[in-house]
Amino acid sequence: MEYFKELNTTPRILLGPGPSMVHPRVLRAMAHPLVGHLDPQFVNLMNEVQEMLRYVFETTNKLTLPISGTGSAGMDAVCCNFVEPGDPVLVCTNGYFGERLFEMVSRYGADVTRLDRPWGSIFSPADIKTALEEKPAKIVTMVMAETSTGTLQPLEEIAKIVHSHGALLLVDCVTSLGGVPVRIDDTDIDIAYSCTQKGLGCPPGLAPVTIGPRAVEMLHRRKSKVPSWYFDLTEIEHYWGSERSYHHTAPISMCYALREGLRLVMEEGLEARYKRHRENAELLWSGLQELGLEAVVPYEYRLPTLTTIKVPDGVNAAEVSSRLLSEYNIEVAGGLGIFKGKVWRVGLMSYGSSKENIVLLLGALSRILK
Ligand code: PLP
């Protein structure tokens, strides 16, 4: 068999929906020598990671920790811990990831009511109120930043309505955390999960979750065992809680990465970071307009971290993305599901959200589209 050469990937400018650009400091942190997952040095690192996760989620929730796995592992973990067979769950679906939540919640045997809105639009508080009046639910699920469409779902009013109907609010923060305000405690979100490879600027591999007091109570009142062994928070809370007793081997190097990614968030400061993401998104949006390109989502609820652009008539979406990659080393993505071939998706997240990347992309796009 042929002896393969040492790995030597061409660096890319990652402006798709994730993974986003990783800061060199995060990559350097990953190269640190391993310690054991119960080594006092690692236990200390776990404390630091949890404290910084609380900072970025803007919460005091004790049960805040990174689940081992990508964003979908976070989604699966919260679904299997909080949904019991027969539970009434309202799943709000306006894109590909809302549909994934519907699929997961259904697999755990919930009595699901699915509330659909067209892709590219958002839910109004009245939508949720009407749905809960028609059929009460134990949990309402929402995707805050729908990466398939580029919408940013306002949640404050919805959280009040959900709670006034005695339900808990479960939110996907995969494309919002670290890029746009999530504010778990102020918004009053009960259950949230995210990922490391977008707004936190790390590689994919961990899924930060945070669980509020009402949800912790619900977890401890479960009638049945959590159906997944690996994602069982009633067990994982002992490893990430005060006992630090073994559950599974933590992905050590990914925790190093997350620690450094979070340190970068703290150094910049949350408000400054939100401002940078918003200002850079505005720069992209005005540049696209100058090129005659149109955003799919109306300005009022357009997501700064991920923009969907309509593919003009007569243009082959895949060919443009492929030329961006091969000629300019820039990665953007095409559409998912019903948006396939109809949109491009441009992510401006974390280290990748910079003026120079935007100017490069706009320049490359203008040359290709000419
Ligand atoms: N939820 C949203 C909104 C996403 O954008 C993604 C991935 O892009 C996921 C969930 C799943 O995350 P992962 O691909 O890291 O498993």
Burial class (CB in 10 A: 0-12, 13-18, 19+), 284: buried
Confirm or reject: Cβ of 195 under 6 Å from ligand 1. Answer: yes
β-strand pairing of 139-143 with 88-93: parallel
pLDDT of residue 122: 98
Confirm or reject: Cβ of 97 under 6 Å from ligand 1. Answer: yes
Q: What is the pLDDT of residues 303-331, one digit of tens each?
A: 999 999 999 999 999 999 999 999 999 99
Amino acid at 25: R
Q: What is the pLDDT of residues 204-237, one digit of tens each?
A: 999 999 999 999 999 999 999 999 999 999 999 9
How far apart are the CA of 337 and the centre of ligand 1, in A?
A: 14
Number of H helices and E strands in the chain, helices first, is 13, 14
Confirm or reject: Cβ of 171 under 6 Å from ligand 1. Answer: no
280 and 354 in contact (C-beta within 8 Å)?
yes
Task: Say whether domain 24-266 belongs to CATH 3.40.1190.20.
Answer: no
List the alpha helices (DSSP H) in the chain: 24-30, 40-57, 71-82, 96-107, 125-134, 156-164, 184-187, 213-220, 233-240, 252-268, 270-290, 317-328, 355-369
Burial class (CB in 10 A: 0-12, 13-18, 19+), 251: middle
At residue 192, does pLDDT exceed 90? yes
Q: Mean pLDDT, the chain, as a whole number?
A: 97
Instruction: Tell me the pTM.
Output: 0.98
Nearest to 143 by CA among 88, 204, 74, 212: 74
Task: Find the mean pLDDT for residues 18-30.
Answer: 98
Phi, psi of 204 (to 5 degrees): -70, 145
Q: What is the pLDDT of residues 70-110, one digit of tens each?
A: 999 999 999 999 999 999 999 999 999 999 999 999 999 99
What residues form DSSP beta bridges with 143? 172
**Domain residue ranges of the chain, discontinuous segments joined by +:** 13-18+270-369, 24-266
Task: Find the mean pLDDT for residues 39-45.
Answer: 96
Confirm or reject: Cβ of 179 under 6 Å from ligand 1. Answer: no
Considering only the top CATH level, what class is 13-18+270-369?
Answer: alpha beta
Q: What is the pLDDT of residues 113-160, one digit of tens each?
A: 999 999 999 999 999 999 999 999 999 999 999 999 999 999 999 999
Amino acid at 185: D
At residue 1, does pLDDT exceed 90? no
pLDDT of residue 2: 83
Q: What is the pLDDT confidence band of residue 334, given thresholds at 50, 70 and 90?
A: very high
Confirm or reject: Cβ of 102 under 6 Å from ligand 1. Answer: no
Confirm or reject: Cβ of 75 under 6 Å from ligand 1. Answer: yes
How far apart are the CA of 174 and the centre of ligand 1, in A?
A: 6
∠ CA 292-293-296, rounded to 5°: 145
Enter the tokens of residue 166. 């005695």
How far apart are the CA of 40 and the centre of ligand 1, in A?
A: 32
Confirm or reject: Cβ of 237 under 6 Å from ligand 1. Answer: no
Q: What is the pLDDT of residues 153-179, one digit of tens each?
A: 999 999 999 999 999 999 999 999 999
At residue 242, does pLDDT exceed 90? no
Q: What is the pLDDT confidence band of residue 354, given thresholds at 50, 70 and 90?
A: very high
Question: From atom 15 of ligand 1, which residue's Cα is the shortest distance away?
Answer: 71
Q: What is the pLDDT of residues 340-351, one digit of tens each?
A: 999 999 999 999
